[in-house]
Amino acid sequence: MLADPAAPARSPRTRPASWARPGVRLAVLGAVVLVLVAVYLFTGVPGRLAFALEIRSLTVVAMLVVSTAVGVSTVVFHTITQNRILTPSIMGFDAFYVLISTVIVFVSGSAAFLAFDEITLWFVQVVVMVAFSALLFGWLFGGKRRSIHLMLLVGIVLGTFFRSFTEWMQRMLDPLDFQVLSDAMFASLTRPDETLLVLSAVLVALGCAAVVPLRRTLDVLTLGEPAAVGLGVDHRRVVMALFAAVSVMIAASTALVGPILFFGLIVANLAYSYAGSFRHAWTMPTAVLLGMVCLLGGQLVLERVFGYGGTLSTVIDFAGGLFFLYLVLRKGAR
């Protein structure tokens, strides 16, 4: 065709500089994570190294499970809902998980709760959660497009409702039941229960096994529903499958360390800026590794610098809350 007078003189077809390449960026991030893991495992050992290593490696595995679950599920959730502010946690996914467990204890009592075979209990909780969230999000996102501000409102109202309802029921529990419940719900990152860790890891792996083959379809979904349908994506079916995977992964992570409201928001948005590509093959692992940096870095600073034994999630939620406000205000200003 004709030469375009407005065209830049030379076609910039040269390969981008190495730092701009997503592979290089991901590798750098991976190296940072490895260094942090080494520092966390081998420095500041109070007693016997072997003993410290055993406990700490469990913590590192727990962090990896949580980072993977939250990182992958948040990126997927952002893509299918076509927004970058709402996350499963903000929409009350993990609050709902806590609610289910609370209801079980509330209705049956802690004795029955404990008498349940752990795996069966898990299975029941996960199934209920996946079924419910598929229904809820099918209803919210399946039909016609709604304004993101309305969704934000609905999400926050739902999340608050789940949390308050849970709290209300927990107040009515007798102290023993409550103790059992909080042990089950808020196992800490630094002392993960081994059985739960294995179960969570399995569920997160299953979630990833469902999501990873769909990574290219997810890329197409960034174009929005109409374009994706035009390119032959069975939108309804794919989105439902992805919602199910998201629910499973959030359930796993919540059971392990309890809800961390704004963690996903931070890692996903940092990943979009850092990854250097919109493709999910890059953004998802980047989000996971950034999650590891946050958790490991945060834990190191808390533990070694401030000698603080408190929960990391409080710190993450504080920072994340500020970040959330920033994102909402910035979007609103546009």
Partner 1 sequence: MIALENVTKRYGGQTVVDDVSLTLGGEGVTALIGPNGAGKTTLFSLVGRLVRPDAGRVTIGGLDITTTPSAELAKSLAVLRQENHVAARLTVHDLVEFGRFPHSRGRLTVEDRAHIEQAIDYLDLDAYRHRFLDELSGGQRQRAFIAMVLAQDTRYVLLDEPLNNLDLRHMTEIMRLVRRMADDLGKRVVTVLHDINFAATWSDRIVAMRDGSVVADAPAREIMRPEVLRAVYDTDVDVREIDGKPVALYYG
Give the interface with partner 1 as residue ranges (CB under 8 A): 1-2, 4, 6-8, 10-13, 16, 82, 84, 216-217, 219-220, 222-224, 226-227, 229-235, 278
C-beta closer to partner 1: residue 75 or 302: 75
C-alpha dist (Å) from residue 279 to 40, 81, 197, 212: 31, 16, 30, 12
DSSP string, 35-95: HHHHHHHHSS--S-HHHHHHHHHHHHHHHHHHHHHHHHHHHHHHHHHT-SS--TTTTTHHH
Least distance between partner 1 and beta carbon 229 (Å): 6
C-beta closer to partner 1: residue 3 or 305: 3
Angle at 171 between CA 168 and CA 177, to 5 degrees: 120
C-beta closer to partner 1: residue 6 or 50: 6
CB atoms within 10 A of CB 34: 12
Considering all CA atoms of the chain, what is the largest pairwise distance in Å, rounded to the nearest integer? 80
Least distance between partner 1 and beta carbon 27 (Å): 22
C-beta closer to partner 1: residue 100 or 228: 228
Q: Cβ neighbours of residue 269 under 8 Å, at least 6 residues apart?
A: 84, 323, 327
The one-letter amino acid at 195? T
Least distance between partner 1 and beta carbon 237 (Å): 9
C-beta closer to partner 1: residue 129 or 218: 218
C-beta closer to partner 1: residue 103 or 281: 281
What H or E segment, with its residue span, contains residue 8? none
Least distance between partner 1 and beta carbon 139 (Å): 18
C-beta closer to partner 1: residue 84 or 163: 84
CB atoms within 10 A of CB 238: 17
Least distance between partner 1 and beta carbon 1 (Å): 4
Angle at 271 between CA 229 and CA 90, to 5 degrees: 75
Least distance between partner 1 and beta carbon 79 (Å): 8
Quote the tokens at residue 75.
């990126």
Residue 73 contacts residue 291 (beta carbons within 8 Å): no
CB atoms within 10 A of CB 331: 14
Least distance between partner 1 and beta carbon 136 (Å): 23
